[in-house]
Amino acid sequence: MKYFYFFGNFFYICGYKPIVMRILYYIYQVCFALPILLVLTILTALTTTVGSLIGDRKSVV
């Protein structure tokens, strides 16, 4: 028999919480973390490229 627990606004069935949390974490990674990481990577590459093209190489010590 499964036991029900109430935490905040969520009901957890004993034994099913790890599976649900893994699914939610995977959805979080794909929908939020991955796009943010890609945007930051592209912005960093563009900033480095533009800075290298504009910057004066002789002023670097």
Beta bridge partners of 52: none
In a domain? residue 46:
yes
Give the domain range for residue 42: 16-53
DSSP the chain: ---EEEETTEEEETTTHHHHHHHHHHHHIIIIIHHHHHHHHHHHHHHHHHHHHHS-GGG--
Whether residue 25 lies inside any domain: the answer is: yes
**Mean pLDDT, rounded, for 36-51:** 94
Give dist(CA 53, CA 45) in Å, integer: 12
Domain-embedded: residue 37? yes
pLDDT at residue 57 greater than cutoff 80:
no
Q: Answer whether residue 59 is part of any domain.
A: no
Number of domains the chain is built from: 1
Q: Is residue 40 part of a domain?
A: yes
Q: What is the pLDDT of residues 14-35, one digit of tens each?
A: 555 677 788 888 899 899 999 9
